[in-house]
Each structure stands twice: as C-alpha cells, then as structure tokens.
Amino acid sequence: MSNTVRLAGAPLEIGVLLLSPCSPLTLGALIEPFSLANAARGETVFECRVFSCDGKPVTSPGGLPLPVHGGLPADFSGHAMFVAAERAESSVHDTTLLPWLAALAGRRVALGGVHAGGHWLARAGVLDGYRATVHWEALGDFVERFDAVIASQQLFEIDRDRFTSSGGMATLDMTLTLIEQWVGRDLALRLSERLCLERVRPATERQRVPLAAQLGGQQPKLTEAIQLMEANLEEPLTTDEISRYVGLSRRQLERLFKQFLNALPSKYYLELRLMRAQRFLQRTDRSVVQIGLSCGFSSGPHFSTAYRARFGITPREERAQYSQFGGPDAAVGAPVERDAGR
C-alpha cells in the first residue's frame, strides 16, 4: 500500500472521462466518495471534474443525460484521470482519445479504468506491464487482445499508478481504498460508515464469474464436476470420486481443468474452500475452528497453513483485520450472519 500522497492544503485534482453510454451508478461510485471526503474534512481535499470526448452530456443506458464540465482537457496534469465506460468496442473517438491517454501517461498522470475503461487504457498502450481487470463479461476478450497486460479476475487492481475496477460496486471499493492510500485510513473509515458499508472489499477478492459464462456452456462434464465440488465443501470429494461421478477418467478430468481453468482439480477445489472460509471469517460470528471444519479442514494447523499460503495471513489475522476495518465487531448494529446451529 502506497504512502499518503496529499500535501497539507493542496487539493488532489481528479478527472473522470465518461464514454457513452455510462451508468449513473458508475459515476456515483467514482465521484461521491470524493465529495463526501470534502464534506467530512470541511475543506477541499479533492477537486473533481467530469469530461466527455466532445464536451457534450453523456447518455446513460436508460437515456438519462449526464452533464460534464467540458471536453478532453489538453493540458490536464492533475493527480489522476479515470475512464468510465460500459463498452469496449471501437468508436469514432479513437483518433483523439487514445493519443490523449498516452499523453497523460507521459505527463505521469495516474490513470484509472472502470468497468470496460481498462480496455481503452490498454488500447492506448498505458497498461502494458501492469496488473488490470475489467468486468467479467469482457475479461475473455481483454485477455486475448492485450497480452502485454497482466489481466486478473479481481474486483479491482491498484498497481502503482494504474487503477482498474470491474465496475458496479467494486468501483466504490476501489475509490475508498484509493482515498485511504492518498489521504489516510481514518478518513476512509469515516466514509465507509457514512455510506453504510458493512466493509470495504479488498483488491484480493475475485469477481464472482458465473460458471456458465466462464465455460460458455460447452463443457457439461466440467460444469458438473465444479457443481459437485461446490456442493461438497464441508466433506471434500477426492479427484477420483469426482471423476467417477461425472463419467471421466482422472486424466481426462485433469486435462479439462488445465485447459479451461488453468488449474488441477485439487487446486481449484482448495480455492473454493478457502474463498468460502474467507467469507465466513468476514461475515459470520462462527469460531475459526468451526469455519475450518465447515470448509473441509480436519485440523486447525492444516487450515491455518493453507489459508496463509493463499492469502498471506492466518484465519485469526483475517478476522482481526476485518474487525478493524468495518467488520461485525467494529460497529454496533452491523449485520452478522448467525450460525443456525448455535
């Protein structure tokens, strides 16, 4: 995590470029936290301006016009510029937008992309060598087209001076995380409380990619195998058992997993169990031991070792960290999922 960058008395200039159509949710998730930060501090911490390629209002998917401050600012040299886009296909703006983005990068302006905004940054060549993400619906095309970009399935990515979000509420998570880095943790906590957020999701969380979309509906055996895994997280099946249930040899099943998911069945299964454990640690009041058992780990040390290997911290550290940043123990009245068996 980067150090706080704001100097006392010097507002951070933030730009947001909207490409039509643009969702009001996307725009709000980007600029509302900055506006609330100013109100919370009683001073101008951020100066935000919204732009379009031609200086005209941008239309939302529902036909609502979104006003802007003007067209592409030729001399923008603020702290960061975000590109918010719902679509990734080519447009008439290519000849002006792509060179403009490259020029911003040359002036060391930090660049962000929201939803499909990462596509435009990648097309301008300013994401080469950076980790980046886009919405899961566009991720496959993104990976194929931009092999110089380190694509991920995370909710958002913050890699040095490049920030990308998968869209939707992940944009709010990213914006609050950036405010924490740029101004401070206390302000980010106050904003999350003001927005009634149970928690700010970290960049390490992956997008929930629907299986049918991920596999294209063309691999029923693979889909069936994963459904078996998801239905048996507390008492995991062996790879041989899964192979037998779906009517494939172990080698055939492993080949399918490697081809479409780039992982062996056992590794993918472990990932499902660990992601479930993380959700339970963050969203329930079950004990660490109970969570380990419910996710198929027969012993505490085994659970702790596997969890640390995946997330870099132990289950107990995960719970303590989450409690400090808006978790169930950090705020009176925060919703907690209760274990029905307790």
Residue 31 lies in a domain: yes
Closest CA to 110 of 149, 80, 73: 80
Residue 201 lies in a domain: no
Alpha helices in the chain (DSSP H): 24-41, 94-106, 117-123, 136-145, 170-182, 185-194, 211-215, 220-231, 239-246, 250-261, 265-283, 288-294, 300-311, 315-324
Residues 12-18: what's their mean pLDDT? 96
Three-state secondary-structure class, residue 255:
helix
Provide the token pair at 119. Answer: 């596509």
Residues 239 and 317 occupy one common structural domain:
no
Closest CA to 199 of 315, 331, 310: 331
Three-state secondary-structure class, residue 156:
strand
Q: How confident is the model at residue 114 (pLDDT cuts 50, 70, 90)?
A: very high
What domain count does the chain have?
3
| Predicted pLDDT of residue 149 | 94
Report percent pLDDT > 90 for the chain: 60
Q: How confident is the model at residue 340 (pLDDT cuts 50, 70, 90)?
A: very low
With 90 as the cut, is the pLDDT of residue 328 above it? no
Three-state secondary-structure class, residue 21:
coil
Residues 163 and 276 occupy one common structural domain:
no
Three-state secondary-structure class, residue 95:
helix
Which among 146, 166, 194 is the end of a domain? Answer: 194
Asked if residue 296 lies in contact with residue 282, where contact means CB atoms within 8 angstroms, the answer is no
CA terminus-to-terminus distance, the chain: 38
Angle at 301 between CA 299 and CA 305, to 5 degrees: 120
With 80 as the cut, is the pLDDT of residue 285 above it? no
Residues 71 and 156 occupy one common structural domain:
yes
Residues 294 and 162 occupy one common structural domain:
no
Rounded to the nearest angstrom, the gap between the alpha carbon of residue 9 and the centroid of all alpha carbons in its chain is 31
193-202, 210-219, 231-240, 331-340: segment of lowest average pLDDT: 331-340
Three-state secondary-structure class, residue 252:
helix
Residues 342 and 322 occupy one common structural domain:
yes
Residues 229 and 331 occupy one common structural domain:
no
* Structural domain of 58: 12-194
* Backbone angles phi and psi of 66, in degrees to 5: -105, 115
Provide the token pair at 162. Answer: 């490049």
The angle, 0 to 180 degrees and rounded to 10, between the axes of the packed helices 315-324 and 265-283 is 40
Residue 208 lies in a domain: no
Residues 101-118: what's their mean pLDDT? 95
Q: Does pTM top 0.75 for this prediction?
A: no
Residue 199 lies in a domain: no
| Predicted pLDDT of residue 335 | 34
Mean pLDDT value across the chain: 86
Residues 146 and 225 occupy one common structural domain:
no
Would you call the peptide bond into 61 cis, given omega within 30 degrees of 0 as the criterion? no
Closest CA to 104 of 86, 83, 85, 89: 83
Provide the CATH number for the domain around residue 119: 3.40.50.880
More confident residue, 211 or 138: 138
Q: How confident is the model at residue 225 (pLDDT cuts 50, 70, 90)?
A: very high
DSSP state of 70: B
Residues 223 and 308 occupy one common structural domain:
no
Residues 61-67: what's their mean pLDDT? 85
| Predicted pLDDT of residue 136 | 79
Instruction: Render pLDDT for 118-159 as a digit per residue (tens, 0 to 9).
Output: 999 999 999 999 999 998 777 777 887 898 999 888 899 999
Residue 3 lies in a domain: no
Residue 235 lies in a domain: yes
Calculate the CA dihedral of residues 93, 95, 100, 103 and round it to 10 degrees. Answer: 160
Distance CA 243, CA 234 (A): 19
* Backbone angles phi and psi of 56, in degrees to 5: -100, 160
Distance CA 187, CA 34 (A): 11
Residue 246 lies in a domain: yes
Which among 165, 194, 223 is the end of a domain? Answer: 194
Provide the CATH number for the domain around residue 252: 1.10.10.60
Instruction: Render pLDDT for 25-44 as a digit per residue (tens, 0 to 9).
Output: 989 999 999 999 999 999 99
Asked if residue 167 lies in contact with residue 173, where contact means CB atoms within 8 angstroms, the answer is no
| Predicted pLDDT of residue 21 | 83
